[in-house]
Amino acid sequence: MNVDRLPGVTLTDHVLDAPLDHADPGGERIEVYGREVVAAGREDAALPWLVFLQGGPGNAAPRPLGRESWLGRALEDYRVLLLDQRGTGRSTPANRQTLPLRGGPREQAGYLAHFRADAIVRDAELFRRRLAGPGTPWSVLGQSFGGFCTVAYLSQAPEGLREALVTGGLPGLDASAEDVYRAAYPRVARKNTAHYARYPRDVAAAREIAAYLREREVRLPGGGILTPRAFQALGMLLGSGNGSHVLHHLLADAWVTGPAGRELGDAFLEGVRAHLSHAAAPLFAVVHEAIYGQRSVDPGPTAWAAQRVRDGLTAYPQFDVDTVLDGAGPLYFTGEMMYPWLFDTDPALRPLKETAQELAERRDWPDLYNAGQLAVNDVPAAAAVYFDDMYVDTTHSLAAADRIRSMRVWVTNEWEHDGLRVSDGAVLDRLLRMVRGEV
């Protein structure tokens, strides 16, 4: 067991041997990693546990550098477990380098079908029994997709929970993948409108870059292809508190002039690569739409729902590059949508294209949420719902909260989707006071 000491905290590694399929405990095993964090000097204190479930899917837990962000507030009361959800971080990895060990695309997709919220909850329960003890519940904090996992936890294993906290992650309990994206595009459109109102010069800047990319092939550092549609994917930035400003500065610094004339500069292309590459978290793209699959909602395949909805958009022609460039007006950036062409433009995803297609065609996904159990939930629960959150639909979240007994909701426009990370503990503190009945 490795122990590290950083300013103000002590970190301890924990590795769990877990079944790939929890319904088949005698079958294949994988490793799941968790990092214990405790305030320096309190290593031997009898502190309750708080497990953190990261957003995503497919993102590793944060790597602490000390008592920064929400962690400082959490360590006042808890011993924290930062869980690397299966396939991420120091858990058994799932990426273009490792997945071929499973076999071909069909075998890889079958393997990844066990990487959804239901399996993550079962992994967490194994950790709880080992670290807290079989009869001792712990607290859970879920950010974004981690909130989806938290609602699955309340559905599947509420006996393991002392309290449940959710930030920007109450899912639509009966929303299909298509429902999710039909609700998403209008929100993304509003974020674009707000961005261009803040930075009117960016209308011309984005059009000029898109026109340049339409006429020639531009390679990113690392081999990615920057197509106009890939350029639009920078709209992921618009859902965070400072993302609009980051996007503006990126566009403002796009051009350089060399012997061949005006061209997109290396610094700009590297900045774009850093925002668009899925090398650090390929599962974010590969299993993204699968997190919405539930047989009781839609027994059919997710079938690239984001692309299907986009193809049918009539109210927002600003999302279509050719329509915009052949006319006038602003080009809209897209948001948290995964498209099949991403697997042609991103080198980290290209080898997984057929695997992603297999998952897109998969049918009859097991249900993730138990509405009956949620209706009688007695675990104290609180959620921060960010008003007009670009990533998670506010209407879906409020409808879900209304169906989860003991769930208290705080709707706020003080923060965007990244409020937990950037609020210096204020969001977490508010939720803790809510579940304790102090506010």
User: pLDDT per residue over 139-172, tens digit each?
Assistant: 999 999 999 999 999 999 999 999 999 999 999 9
Percentage of residues in the chain having pLDDT higher than 90: 99
Work out the number of other CB atoms within 10 angstroms of the CB of residue 159. Answer: 9
Return the pLDDT at 13. Answer: 98
**Token reading at 184:** 């998403």
What number is the average pLDDT over the span 420-435? 97
Parallel/antiparallel/unpaired status of strands 49-53 and 138-143: parallel
pLDDT, tens digit, 9 for 90 and up, residues 316-367: 999 999 999 999 999 999 999 999 999 999 999 999 999 999 999 999 999 9
pLDDT, tens digit, 9 for 90 and up, residues 43-61: 999 999 999 999 999 999 9
**Token reading at 300:** 């059919």
3-class SS at 4?
Answer: strand
Return the pLDDT at 329. Answer: 93
Task: Assess whether 227 and 351 both reside in one domain.
Answer: yes
For the entire predicted model, the pTM comes to 0.97
What number is the average pLDDT over the span 369-390? 97
Of 321, 339, 361, the residue at which a domain comes to its end is 361
- Give the separation between CA 14 and CA 30, rounded to whole angstroms: 14
What number is the average pLDDT over the span 203-227? 97
What number is the average pLDDT over the span 240-264? 96
- Bridge partners for 16 per DSSP: 32
Return the pLDDT at 193. Answer: 98
- Give the separation between CA 156 and CA 150, rounded to whole angstroms: 10
Task: Assess whether 105 and 250 both reside in one domain.
Answer: no
Of 330, 361, 392, the residue at which a domain comes to its end is 361
- Bridge partners for 39 per DSSP: 9
What CATH number corresponds to the domain at position 54? Answer: 3.40.50.1820
Task: Assess whether 53 and 134 both reside in one domain.
Answer: yes
What number is the average pLDDT over the span 213-234? 97
Task: Assess whether 234 and 269 both reside in one domain.
Answer: yes
At residue 62 the predicted structure's pLDDT band, cuts being 50, 70 and 90, is: very high
Task: Assess whether 329 and 341 both reside in one domain.
Answer: yes
Nearest CA among 97, 350, 59 for reference residue 224: 350
pLDDT, tens digit, 9 for 90 and up, residues 258-271: 998 999 999 999 99
Instruction: Work out how many domains the chain is built from and give that number.
Output: 2
Task: Assess whether 42 and 121 both reside in one domain.
Answer: yes
Task: Assess whether 28 and 139 both reside in one domain.
Answer: yes
Active site residue 244: no
Active site residue 275: no
Residue 202 sits at φ, ψ, to 5 deg, of -70, -15
3-class SS at 326?
Answer: coil
Task: Assess whether 211 and 335 both reside in one domain.
Answer: yes
Segments forming the whole domain that contains residue 198: 177-361
Return the pLDDT at 104. Answer: 98
Work out the number of other CB atoms within 10 angstroms of the CB of residue 352. Answer: 27
User: How far is residue 350 from each of residues 88, 145, 271, 354, 362, measured CA to CA in Å?
Assistant: 19, 24, 21, 9, 20
Inter-residue contact 364 to 295 (CB < 8 Å): yes
Task: Assess whether 131 and 203 both reside in one domain.
Answer: no
- Give the separation between CA 307 and CA 222, rounded to whole angstroms: 26
Return the pLDDT at 317. Answer: 95
Task: Assess whether 340 and 376 both reside in one domain.
Answer: no
Q: Where are the alpha helices (DSSP H) in 2-103?
A: 69-74
Return the pLDDT at 86. Answer: 98
DSSP state of 294: -
Return the pLDDT at 71. Answer: 97
- Give the separation between CA 154 and CA 369, rounded to whole angstroms: 8
**Model confidence at 1: pLDDT above 80:** no
3-class SS at 290?
Answer: helix
Task: Assess whether 117 and 220 both reside in one domain.
Answer: no
Inter-residue contact 217 to 225 (CB < 8 Å): yes
- Give the separation between CA 384 and CA 169, rounded to whole angstroms: 8
**Token reading at 337:** 């949508």
At residue 308 the predicted structure's pLDDT band, cuts being 50, 70 and 90, is: very high
pLDDT, tens digit, 9 for 90 and up, residues 86-129: 999 999 999 999 999 999 999 999 999 999 999 999 999 999 99
Return the pLDDT at 92. Answer: 98
Candidates 144, 244, 277, 423; catalytic one: 144
Return the pLDDT at 304. Answer: 98
- The label of the residue with tokens 């709707």 reads 411
- Bridge partners for 400 per DSSP: none
Candidates 84, 397, 417, 418; catalytic one: 417
- Give the separation between CA 432 and CA 163, rounded to whole angstroms: 9
Of 334, 361, 388, the residue at which a domain comes to its end is 361
Cβ neighbourhood burial of 17 (10 Å; 0-12, 13-18, 19+) = exposed
Task: Assess whether 192 and 164 both reside in one domain.
Answer: no
Return the pLDDT at 28. Answer: 96
Active site residue 155: no
What number is the average pLDDT over the span 192-221? 98
Candidates 13, 322, 364, 424; catalytic one: 364
- The label of the residue with tokens 């981690």 reads 146
- Bridge partners for 381 per DSSP: 164, 407
